[in-house]
Amino acid sequence: MATIFSFRCLCFIIALLSAFSFVSFLFWFQCSSSYRYSNQMISQKENQPINLLSFPSAWNHLSFPSKLPSKYLKIALFVKKWPHRSLAGGLERHALTLHLALAKRGHELHIFTTSPSNSSFPRYPMSNLYFHLSKPTAAGYLDQAIVWKQFQTQNSTGKAFDIVHTESVGLLHTRSRNLTNLAVTWHGIAYETIHTDIIQELLRNPDEQQAYALTERITKVVEEVRFFPHYAHHVATSDHAGDILRRIYMIPEERVHVILNGVDEEIFKPDPSKGEAFKQKFGVAKSRSLVLGMAGRLVKDKGHPLMFEALKQMLVENGTFRENTIVLIAGDGPWGDRYRDLGTNTLVLGPLEQAQLASFYNAIDIFVNPTLRAQGLDHTLLEAMLSGKSVMSTRVASITGSVIVSTEIGYTFSPMVVSLKNALYRVWEDGRRVLEMKGQASRQRGLQLFTATKMAAAYERLFLCISNDNSKREDYCQYQSPFN
């Protein structure tokens, strides 16, 4: 089994080089399923270790050993806000999931964040996890002068920090510029947001004012291209963002690393009995042969005007669709009441705690994410996939490039009512059995790439690599496939 990795990698690179995603997916799929046979014939010497820092695709594809690290790191994290459990946006969810996992693995974590307005702060039973709170600025950001002082105090107490991690601009570039052992994780960069701006403008009612963003965005991109190099290492949360950072932002490739988001695989997993109980609890009739699910904030940004319009039209024009489908909606926001007005075909559940959310995913046949945001990588899709559900989402590059990479997993549509309706009708025609098969493919991809364990292992290795102690001849930046 010496050359699994190199051959697989070759497949992947050829697939990347070949024009468009579906064709390349087919190639990648066929090619990688044949590697098992071919690799026995390729000679041993091709199995060179690779330099992780210049690895072009997501580190989630690699396998890092799960045994505890041979070296424990002292890690500083800068994050604007530390979330109260599960009710949090993408960046905060990422901060929480990743750093709790790293603390569980024994690293010493110092988290520099703002104190919450109502003064209650979550407690964790871990003695290697420290919070350094400070009052936010008027605009709600970290007060850079204060956190820098707190950081330096900790840096000169006991051991110095091995690694500094900042979630987005938690630590500003004016402070980060001289730190070589630093990584920043971007959850949406201005260049990606241009796509969102275009979508919003196309969907804008003539009586609404044009968003200021449309004209200002390019200036924002140029600003980012200028200041991003002041961060030593960059983590992109999607393959697409990684490409932009290398190509448009011109950051040297050995400083750009792709690590896709992960979600807790212990919580989000298939459990049909939980799904049945959930449906019973909320009175979903057995006659509903298609249960669609949506979760998150019910706001314009997340595409709810689009979904609302598509559903409204379909419920009017197609009697069978009306009789047999139901949409379960977890979350709240301005569009909640409008969905309620659609009558018995929708069930607005309000925000759900994590355990309930896990049951919710089990209750549905397919998860629909009509988001208009092209930046970052939505966690809800990953949760649905780990729960073994087929997924459906807007065609934005982070999703089509890293998540719904083929029709084997689910459906994608353009952010227009007609395209969304077509996709929903296709789902309806395909029916439950096809959705179940796609759900299994979804789960396989989820397990391979989107578990919290995978994400934490990749970050741990990146942090070890960045803080390599050359005097001890450490080589955490070398990767050797474990299948030797």
List of residues contacting ligand NAG (CB under 6 A):
84, 116, 118, 120, 152, 155, 160, 175, 177-178, 318-321, 425, 428-429
Report, in Å, the least distance between residue 313 CB and ligand NAG.
Answer: 12
d(Cα 364, Cα 101) in Å, to the nearest integer? Answer: 29
d(Cα 356, Cα 352) in Å, to the nearest integer? Answer: 6
Which residue's CB is nearer to ligand NAG, number 115 or number 478?
115
Which residue's CB is nearer to ligand NAG, number 125 or number 319?
319
C-alpha gyration radius of the chain: 23
Give the CB-nearest residue to ligand NAG: 160
Which residue's CB is nearer to ligand NAG, number 342 or number 447?
342
Upper half-sphere CA count for residue 159 (Cβ side, 13 Å):
12
443: nearest Cα among 366, 386, 367: 386
Please name every residue paired with 235 in a beta bridge, in sequence order, or none if there are none. Answer: 185, 257
State phi, psi for 292 to the nearest 5 degrees.
-95, 150
Report, in Å, the least distance between residue 319 CB and ligand NAG.
Answer: 5
Let me know if 377 is exposed, middle or buried by CB neighbors in 10 A (0-12, 13-18, 19+). Answer: buried
d(Cα 380, Cα 295) in Å, to the nearest integer? Answer: 7
Query: Please, which residues have CB within 8 angstroms of residue 27's CB and are 6 or more apart in sequence?
Result: 11, 14, 15, 18
Report, in Å, the least distance between residue 145 CB and ligand NAG.
Answer: 11
Which residue's CB is nearer to ligand NAG, number 35 or number 161?
161
d(Cα 164, Cα 231) in Å, to the nearest integer? Answer: 11
d(Cα 123, Cα 406) in Å, to the nearest integer? Answer: 42
Phi-psi label, residue 273: left if phi above 0, alpha if psi -120 to 50, beta otherwise: alpha
317-339 core/surface letters (b: 16 or more CB in 10 A; e: else) = ebeebeebbbbbbbbbbebbebb
Report, in Å, the least distance between residue 120 CB and ligand NAG.
Answer: 4
Give 41's DSSP letter: G
Q: Which two tokens stand for residue 333?
A: 């926001």
Which residue's CB is nearer to ligand NAG, number 290 or number 405?
290
Report, in Å, the least distance between residue 451 CB and ligand NAG.
Answer: 26
d(Cα 396, Cα 53) in Å, to the nearest integer? Answer: 27
Which residue's CB is nearer to ligand NAG, number 54 or number 152?
152
Report, in Å, the least distance between residue 353 CB and ligand NAG.
Answer: 11
Report, in Å, the least distance between residue 122 CB and ligand NAG.
Answer: 9
Which residue's CB is nearer to ligand NAG, number 207 or number 429?
429
Report, in Å, the least distance between residue 140 CB and ligand NAG.
Answer: 13
Q: Which two tokens stand for residue 225?
A: 């291209």
Report, in Å, the least distance between residue 81 CB and ligand NAG.
Answer: 9
Report, in Å, the least distance between residue 453 CB and ligand NAG.
Answer: 27
Which residue's CB is nearer to ligand NAG, number 90 or number 262?
90
